[in-house]
Amino acid sequence: MPDCIAEGTTGFVVEPDDRDGFAEGMKRLYGDRNMRQRMGAGAYMLARAKFSQVRMMGSLAHCYGVEA
């Protein structure tokens, strides 16, 4: 998930099956509206930058050895 989540900026990363870590992250978000808004905006910008249609098509073309 490091391609999608920047720890503390666009979300929280916890180990699989770490219920306590997941619950702690949810509590932090629930209790801090500004953090939710910052992380939401940060995640949106990260997704637009890394996973735009143009970028994804270019990556696929590169994988198949063709020019986009």
Q: What is the pLDDT of residues 13-46, one digit of tens each?
A: 999 999 999 999 999 999 999 999 999 999 999 8
Q: How many domains does the chain have?
A: 1
Model confidence at 2: pLDDT above 80: no
Q: Kindly report the average pLDDT of the chain as a whole number.
A: 89
Tokens for 12, please give them: 């929280």
Range of the domain at 7: 1-68
Percent of the chain with pLDDT over 90: 53
State how far the Cα of 52 lies from the Cα of 18, in Å rounded to an integer.
Answer: 31
Average pLDDT over residues 43-51: 88
* Amino acid letter, 55: R
pTM equals: 0.67
Average pLDDT over residues 40-65: 88
